[in-house]
Amino acid sequence: MVTTGSRGLQEDSFPFRLYQKAKRLGVWNPADIDLTQDVKDWETLPVQMKEGILRLIAQFQAGEEAVTRDLLPLLMVVAKEGRIEEEMYLTTFLFEEAKHTEFFRLVLNALGVKEDLSHYHSETYHMIFNDILPSAMGRLEHDSSPEAIAEASVVYNMFVEGVLAETGYYGFYKSLEQMRVMPGLLKGIGYLKKDESRHIAYGTFLLQRLIREHPHLLQVVMKKMEELAPLAVKLNEEAAAQDSMFGPDHHADIMNFTARQLAARMEVLKKAQEKPFDELFGIEESEHVG
């Protein structure tokens, strides 16, 4: 038990600082968000706009449920390796994913939406969230090799969160803000964005740690990102074909944002072999919604 020994807790480590940050900034309660105005706004929205918003909520709801369900194998691997500070942070990570799942269900309940929404999930969506993600994370239950951990983190942290979720929340937040509707939903998405920024930061840390320990993993990581990138583009194209409520300029913005996120994730991972570890992991002490 390292915490009772001379080692104690590595309080200056990046995961421990993320843990502290999560305690300060991540303790929000989905049930405390007032959805009264959202319900009123929903009743006045045109059918086409309702359909577009409902499609997005359905995708975020299922996506947050998926990442809540599939995170545990990574937490178990990290715990077995004795990385107590990383495990401590990951407990907040799982807690936050559970809250995200709760939040979108509360929104749907408030809007009186009880029907099956799975028809909003395209074939590409199903491939990512019902096949690729659970397969990569489930592999960790019997394979805790550096290669397996790296691939799981690429799928979960870099792609699903760092590209798909960030792009989705960026577009949804911006659209609701411009339309000036559903302030409770907007507020919740703002909190989610803050939480996700910490999740992605941990994934970046984990992958860069693995790459520095096993340099050959850089090629494994880059190859996996290249395999996944077309799926992000395809999801965006499907959204553009299905939703006309936001217009072509919005979808062009989303496509550009996706491309920037993919490039940024690739670039930051390449730096793992170029910079001292301490330089890679400074941490901002405050965050803002938006």
Identify the band that residue 272 occupies on the pLDDT scale cut at 50, 70 and 90. low
**How much is the pLDDT for 171?**
84
Q: Which value, in Å, is the radius of gyration of the alpha carbons in the chain? A: 19
pLDDT greater at residue 240 or residue 134: 134
Identify the band that residue 284 occupies on the pLDDT scale cut at 50, 70 and 90. very low
When mean pLDDT is compared over 118-122, 247-251, 284-288, the highest value belongs to 118-122
**How much is the pLDDT for 180?**
93
Q: Does the pLDDT value for residue 44 go beyond 70?
A: yes
Please give the domain boundaries of the chain with CATH numbers for all domains. Answer: 35-272 (1.10.620.20)
* HSE-CB for 132 with a 13 A CA cutoff: 22
**How much is the pLDDT for 289?**
35
The pTM assigned to this predicted structure is: 0.88
